[in-house]
Amino acid sequence: MAPSHAALDSAARAHRIDGRAIARSLDEETAAAVRAIVARDGAPPGLAVVLVGEDPASEVYVGRKIEACLRVGILSFEHRLPAQTTQDALLTLIARLNADPTIHGILVQVPLPPHIDEGMVLSAIDPAKDVDGFHPVNVGRLSTGTGGLVPCTPLGVMMLLDSVIDDMKGMDAVVIGKSNIVGKPIAMLLLEREATVTVTHIETRGLPDIVRKADIVVAAAGAPRLVKGFWVKEGAVIIDVGITRMPGEGGKARLVGDVAFDEVQHARAVTPVPGGVGPMTIACLLANTVKAAQMRNAQKK
Q: Which is nearer to ligand NAD, 81 or 243 (CB)?
A: 243
What does the binding site for ligand NAD look like in residue numbers (CB under 6 A)?
153, 176-179, 181-183, 200-202, 204, 207, 220-223, 226, 241-244, 277-278, 281
CB of 235 to ligand NAD, least distance (A): 23
Q: Which is nearer to ligand NAD, 258 or 293 (CB)?
A: 258
Burial of 253 (0-12, 13-18, 19+ CB in 10 A): exposed
CB of 40 to ligand NAD, least distance (A): 32
Cis ω before 224 (30° cut-off from 0): no
Q: Could you list the active site residues?
A: 65, 109, 132
3-state helix, strand, coil in the chain (%, to 5): 45, 15, 35
Tell me the C-alpha distance between 214 and 204, whole Å: 15
CB of 67 to ligand NAD, least distance (A): 16
Q: Which is nearer to ligand NAD, 215 or 258 (CB)?
A: 258
Query: What residue type is 229 in one-letter code?
Result: G
Burial of 56 (0-12, 13-18, 19+ CB in 10 A): exposed
Q: Which is nearer to ligand NAD, 31 or 223 (CB)?
A: 223
CB of 239 to ligand NAD, least distance (A): 10
Count of other CB atoms within 10 angstroms of residue 51: 20
